[in-house]
Amino acid sequence: MVHHIGTLEIKTERLWLRRFTQTDLDDYFVWTGSPKMSRFIMEKPYKDIKEARDGLTGIINSYSHMDYYMWGIVFQGELIGFCCGNEINEEIRSICIGYGIKEQYWNRGIVTEATKALIDYFFQMGFHRIFSYHNPLNPASGRVMVKSGMTFEGRIRGGSRLAGEICDCLQYSILREDWLNAREK
């Protein structure tokens, strides 16, 4: 059984994963309004700051639900992106990890560090399976998943919606037993 605890603060060696606040709006709009970044995440880019404000308000309001998981990623004092857990299946105790950061921070191991922290967080809560998937046009995201201990499962044809469009995705996962075995080494 999963014991939901909601979005609690997580600190890693370089990162601070925390809840979003209304004061994050300008930074939030940098990536949620970016067509380049949104092609790799599920949503279409926000057209303007009002749409971003509405989206951010929705996130903040959802923190009242104990099964809602959405963090802002803070690196060197700057909010640079997000990471989350969604697509929860209580029956098989699975959750999907998603993420995105500002382009100038790509390829620095930041998302891998955040993903590993979420994997620890979710397995400690009682999840059995953690998975993630990415747009085939974004192989860097697949490398994050592998570096985080996930195993490639396959191509899911028409299995995702990225940037608002239905597309294929490449899926990876890690099971609790894999995580426990890796921790023992």
* Residue found by looking up tokens 């997580």 in the block: 10
Q: Looking at the domain assignment, is residue 1 inside a domain?
A: no
Given a contact cutoff of 8 angstroms between Cβ atoms, the answer to whether 71 and 10 are in contact is yes
Q: Kindly state the tokens that stand for 173.
A: 């996962």
pLDDT in tens, 58-87: 999 999 999 999 999 999 999 999 999 999
Whether pLDDT at 42 is above 70: no
Count structural domains, the chain.
1
In a domain, 170, yes or no: yes
Residue 5 falls inside a structural domain:
no
d(CA 108, CA 81): 13
The predicted model scores a pTM of 0.94
Range 169-175 average pLDDT: 96
Q: Which domain holds residue 48?
A: 10-184
- pLDDT digit string, tens, across residues 135-150: 888 899 999 999 999 9
Determine, yes or no, domain membership for 128. yes
CATH number, residue 119: 3.40.630.30
Residue 4 lies in a domain: no
Q: Is residue 3 part of a domain?
A: no
Can you tell me whether residue 58 is helix, strand or coil?
A: helix
